[in-house]
Structure 1
Amino acid sequence: MKSSPRIVFVSSEVVPFVKTGGLADVAGSLPPAMARFGHEVTVILPAYRSVDRKRHPLSPRGAALDIPIGKGVKRGNILASDAIPDVSVRLIDQPEFFGREGLYDAGGREYADNAVRFSFFSRAVLELIKQAGTPPDVIHCNDWQTGLIPVYLRTLYRQDPFFRKTRTVFTVHNVAYQGCFPPEVLRDVHLPDRLFVTEGGLEYYGRVSYLKGGILFSDLITTVSPTYSREIQTEEYGYGLEGVLKSRSADLRGVLNGIDVQEWDPAEDPHLPGPIRSGSEGGKERAKRALLEACGLEYREGAPALGVVSRLAIQKGFDLLEGAAPRMLDEEIRLIVLGQGEKRYADFFRRLMRKYPDKVYFKQAFNNRLAHMIYGGCDLFLMPSRYEPCGLGQMIAMRYGTVPLARRTGGLADTIRDEDGKRTGYLFRGYHQDELLEAFYRVLKAYNHREEWREIMRRGMSGDYSWEVSALRYIGLYLRLLKGEFPHRSP
């Protein structure tokens, strides 16, 4: 068995080309981290219309791909880019499917042909790999948009000698997004009707689930944190797929995401008034004063600043804040919120800002400079999530000496330590405002003991949150998979 596996990493979105969520960050950061360890990595994604081809030039590569869809054939072209260092990047160009404004939807409505769009992409990936001429050791798929790749390898390509030794890894970034379609799509995407069964098939409450296909037909399943890998096997977090995930529990692992430690470097951040370094409070204090001034809030000695940088969604726990915030704001604190999303929560934060104009600042947008200033200038970072597969905000915050206050779920539970002598942040367990408030008052008590607080900051800043840690973990899993430690099985 080779010590340096050849890896193909497939994702429906990849930074720096296109992004709607955290999947794009993973797909743009994990492959180059693996390449830095000497591995041969190819990344494949669709050539969406929204890719900026002036900033990231694309060049034709190889012959066209003719992919059967329905009763016809759709042609795709292969484009190449050198935008990701040390990684071969290929984009599949098919204007009818990918020449649209949005990646998955228009105006919040999913495209009606998403089933065939991403079936085309999945088969085109396999044909592109064959055209390249050398079988990969591992095809690493991500979320429902690539869920049919393992299915095709076990059905249409089952007898193809080219893929005989290739193994598949499927990462579930968020089990709530399942790629569900009417059963008749099976014929459109050239899969047998026998797959429309509950046990060992793609049937999911009367529909076809591409996510379920990826989970059942891949050789190894991963999620983006160890705790989330356990949570999604329960009714509370499994979104109806907990039984399927339990059936693959022996082949299910959790690997934490990393953060871009060059983008998020407190010692070299151009958005801050000066460097923030462990063991020195001066940089942190200057960053706090600059943040409060930018937000029109008065600086007051001993008044901690709480920051939020988030999508405004129920997943993020903001319904807890609706009840807890008035009591929190009875204390001498500052609350600075940056985010966009559901109107309910935007309206709530606007009301708070009107009621407490000297304590609360809310900006409904995503502003990269302000995000950096919040991570650098706040004392606390608030993440009361209902569920959080991994979460990046808490890792960025700790790197900047900002202490997280979060719910003990998913990646938050795996990255934040809340134990005497080892503490890097504060956690609460139950999804209830009283537990949030109890943790908040613990934080205030610690904040007023400056030596204890400095030690918590120091521990958080000393953590290694880089993608290299994640890359080594994945490479280890690939090698174990290729050694046969995970059974290569059919449903």
Structure 2
Amino acid sequence: MKVLQVSAELFPLLKTGGLADVAGALPRALLAAGQDVRVLLPGFPAIRDGVADALHVAEMQTPWGERVGLRLGRIRAESGPDLQAYWIDAPRLYDRPGNPYEDAQRQPYADNHRRFALLGFAAARIAHGLDPAWHPQVVHAHDWHAALAPAYLAFSPRRGHPRVGSVFTVHNLAYQGLFPPWHFAELDLPDVAWGIDGLEYHGQLSFMKGGLVFADRITTVSPTYAREIQTSEQGCGLDGLLRRRAGVLGGILNGVDDQVWNPATDALLPHRFAPGQLDGKARCKAALQAELGLVQNAGAPLFIVVSRLTEQKGLHLVLGGLDALLAQGGQLALLGSGDAWLEQSFRARAAAAPGAVSVTLGYSEALAHRLFGAGDVTLVPSLFEPCGLTQMYGLRYGSLPLVHRVGGLADTVVDATLEDMADGQATGFCFDAFDAEGFARALRRAFALHRRPADWEAVRAAAMARPADWGQAAARYLETYAQALA
């Protein structure tokens, strides 16, 4: 099947979050399954520089009258076939330093509606013959940045080409791509695309709604999240629409890219290890403690955080529970950035207890790998979590996840209860009430299990053995593509 994947970022070229990991891994899994897959990306500097041998394919006029180009090259693979990649050659829109979505003051760019409308528009143009050498059968758009692709497909003339199916994946419903309504006039969509059954959302222009209304099939990144977003609590105001479209909505759990996240082969780890051969993990822990200035203590449970620092991610619970964590002999190593008050609070705690708390603001892919390699417990106490890759990396690297039981966290982590431990199913620690007490009780269970080495190692072995390959997810997506074409 010929599939065009559309996203704003893709690992390893450009990454601000889990979307990039999925956008990078799924096409390769589809290639491995024998499918004809290409990706479409904005021409951000990191993408432009990372796509090799890019050749000019075509020019097109944007809905607001600019002339831009389309290039096609390849993203080299360490193993397997290279990934064919289109990128939109529009320097005035994309050639900006730093964050692809925000300026130096961390404010969204004023023309983001154009920058990402063009991504969906270009996808529809490719589907309808912009590249005469290749025509996709299905366009798969990821998150709000690409959400107008199904709308443009629905209303663009086919010019004699066969119908192309559309699939839209919601990675996080909370980020919807909302803009003032007057920008709709710049999109060159018909008036019927506006309104309650179109892109209008409480008087604003919603890119997310475009994908939800016009896609043939809708997926989310976990089955539980697919159910949650149909409720008023998690639906972000779109639950009514999602309930109406429940017949074409489903959840497909993300996988883990084994070429990137595998402790047995991970070149970013100082020492490699595998299930049943964990000497390397102990050495990773000792090396990280030395690197971060933590007390060298193999017996101290090392809790790690790799996350955006926001209340949605439950980081205020971690901050509030830090005294109890330290009092029980634990250590904390954090990597992330986000809300200023959380950054300042964690930095103050690190300054007050430098041998027990380490805080690194920003993001480093290499340090993230070293944290998972060294950690005993991965903290992911999110208020909501569509899928979450952090806990899945923790599972793979034997850093047992401690999670709030929602979304993909509920689908991937089995609480270390006595019965699930007896059945060999337990893989981490879960709590249900999103409050300090719920988090504290899960924290106490983690410490209690750590004091029972044989049980700890049994749970760790179950966690590391949990299957999370992209092959199974790719097969589910292929079924969804066939449904979109039907």
Normalising by structure 1, report the TM-score: 0.91
TM-aligned CA distance change 1:180 to 1:58, over 3 Å: farther
Task: Tell me the distance in 1 between the aligned counterparts of 2:295 and 2:27.
Answer: 44
CA contact (8 A) 2:117 2:187 kept: yes
Match of 1:45 in 2: 41
Q: Deviations over 1:65-123 (max 9, x none)?
A: 23332xxx221212122114443211111222222334223122222222233223322
Are 1:156 and 2:156 an aligned pair? yes
Match of 2:304 in 1: 307
Match of 1:97 in 2: 93
CA contact (8 A) 2:51 2:85 kept: no
Letter in 1 for 2:70: I
Are 1:443 and 2:446 an aligned pair? yes
**Cα RMSD (Å):** 1.9
CA contact (8 A) 1:302 1:448 kept: no
CA contact (8 A) 1:186 1:193 kept: no
Aligned residue-pair number: 472
Match of 2:260 in 1: 263
TM-aligned CA distance change 1:162 to 1:446, over 3 Å: same
Match of 2:204 in 1: 207
Match of 2:130 in 1: 131
Show structure 1 runs of 5+ residues with no match: 485-491
Match of 1:60 among 55, 58, 61: 55
CA contact (8 A) 1:82 1:88 kept: yes
In the TM superposition, what is the alpha-carbon distance from 1:431 to its structure 2 partner? 0.5
Task: Tell me the distance in 2 between the aligned counterparts of 1:346 and 1:26.
Answer: 27
* SS of residue matched to 1:445: helix
Match of 2:20 in 1: 24
Task: Tell me the distance in 2 between the aligned counterparts of 1:365 and 1:112.
Answer: 24
CA contact (8 A) 1:143 1:211 kept: yes
TM-aligned CA distance change 1:188 to 1:52, over 3 Å: closer
* SS of residue matched to 1:14: coil
The 5 Å alignment of 1:231-380 reads 231-300=228-297, 302-380=299-377
Task: Tell me the distance in 2 between the aligned counterparts of 1:17 and 1:293.
Answer: 30
* SS of residue matched to 2:63: strand
Q: Deviations over 1:264-320 (max 9, x none)?
A: 221233343433221234222222222212222223353211111112122210111
Match of 2:68 among 40, 53, 76: 76
Task: Tell me the distance in 2 between the aligned counterparts of 1:357 and 1:56.
Answer: 42
CA contact (8 A) 1:257 1:390 kept: yes
Task: Tell me the distance in 2 between the aligned counterparts of 1:401 and 1:116.
Answer: 43
The 5 Å alignment of 1:133-148 reads 133=132, 134-148=134-148
Match of 2:407 in 1: 410
* SS of residue matched to 1:109: coil
Match of 1:430 in 2: 433
Letter in 2 for 1:214: G
Are 1:454 and 2:471 an aligned pair? no
Q: Deviations over 1:413-467 (max 9, x none)?
A: 1111123321011100110110111111111111111111111111111122232
Match of 2:176 in 1: 178
Are 1:475 and 2:475 an aligned pair? no
Task: Tell me the distance in 1 between the aligned counterparts of 2:343 and 2:293.
Answer: 19
* SS of residue matched to 2:271: coil
In the TM superposition, what is the alpha-carbon distance from 1:371 to its structure 2 partner? 2.0
Task: Tell me the distance in 2 between the aligned counterparts of 1:373 and 1:50.
Answer: 24
* SS of residue matched to 1:274: coil
TM-aligned CA distance change 1:147 to 1:405, over 3 Å: same
Task: Tell me the distance in 2 between the aligned counterparts of 1:317 and 1:465.
Answer: 24
Q: Deviations over 1:163-186 (max 9, x none)?
A: 42x110001111111111222222
In the TM superposition, what is the alpha-carbon distance from 1:36 to its structure 2 partner? 0.9
Letter in 2 for 1:96: R
Letter in 1 for 2:113: A
Task: Tell me the distance in 2 between the aligned counterparts of 1:416 and 1:400.
Answer: 14
Letter in 2 for 1:31: P
Q: Deviations over 1:313-355 (max 9, x none)?
A: 2221011123222122211111111222222111111222233
Show structure 2 runs of 5+ residues with no match: none
Normalising by structure 2, report the TM-score: 0.92
Match of 1:487 in 2: none
Letter in 2 for 1:181: F
Match of 1:114 in 2: 112
CA contact (8 A) 2:392 2:412 kept: yes
* SS of residue matched to 1:82: strand
In the TM superposition, what is the alpha-carbon distance from 1:50 to its structure 2 partner? 4.0
In the TM superposition, what is the alpha-carbon distance from 1:386 to its structure 2 partner? 1.2
Q: Deviations over 1:104-158 (max 9, x none)?
A: 231222222222332233222222331333542211011222222211222233x
